[in-house]
Amino acid sequence: MPSRNDELRAQMISELRALSVSKALRERGTVVLGHTGYGHYMPVGSTGGATGAQRNGRVEVWVRR
């Protein structure tokens, strides 16, 4: 089970990634309505080992017209 420090770290990294993508999209003229970092709440890979960490270190972009 992840420690509270690990959860906070994951949340902070996730928020920074989301902010970075949001900023890059805005710089290219895209209207961005918001961004969210989900941290440890929505993993796609196992939380143990390098492979799981690499898969979970992702950014998803949802586009709506």
pLDDT in tens, 11-58: 888 899 999 999 999 999 999 998 888 877 777 766 666 666 666 677
* Residue 62: inside a domain: no
* Residue 64: inside a domain: no
* Residue 29: inside a domain: yes
pLDDT at 65: 74
pLDDT at 53: 63
Domain count, the chain: 1
Q: The domain containing residue 25 runs over which residues? A: 4-56
* Residue 25: inside a domain: yes
Which pTM does this prediction carry?
Answer: 0.72
- Closest residue by Cα to residue 38 from 10, 6, 9, 3: 10
Geometric angle at alpha carbon 57, from 30 and 27, rounded to 5°: 20
Residue 10, Cβ neighbours under 10 Å: how many? 21
pLDDT at 50: 66
* Residue 46: inside a domain: yes
